[in-house]
Amino acid sequence: MIVELRTYTIKPGGVPAYLDVYMREAMEVQKKHLPHMVGYFSTDIGPLNQIVHMWGYADLNERARCRDALYADPAWQVAVKKLLELIDVMETKILVPTIFSPIK
């Protein structure tokens, strides 16, 4: 398993609006296409105005297939346009578990 870690820095004061749009319009569409939401968080201490979410995939090929399906969904196109208006910076990392990690 690999884990995709996404950190979005939201425009100041925009986290509530981002989460509202995400929960109402994007979450179910995204979960329909992506196999495993590991977690979805907002920051409270440290860098503020950030949304951090993690998605699990068997491998990079599964990630590519799932994301292609997501971006082909017209409902996602509508929702993501609204979300992108609230985001200043996007960062993505692919995490590979160590041999002793409980997530494999």
Task: Write down the domain spans for the chain.
Answer: 2-95
Give the integer Cα–Cα distance in Å for 7 and 49.
10
Residue pLDDT, tens place only, 82-99: 999 999 999 999 999 999
Give the integer Cα–Cα distance in Å for 104 and 98.
8
Instruction: Output DSSP code: residue 11.
Output: P
Residue 51: Cβ-neighbour burial (10 angstroms; 0-12, 13-18, 19+): buried
103 falls in which pLDDT band (50, 70, 90)? confident
Give the pLDDT confidence score for residue 35 in this predicted structure: 86
Residue pLDDT, tens place only, 18-65: 999 999 999 999 999 998 999 999 999 999 999 999 999 999 999 999
The CATH class, in words, for 2-95 is alpha beta
Question: What pTM, to 2 d.p., does this model score?
Answer: 0.91
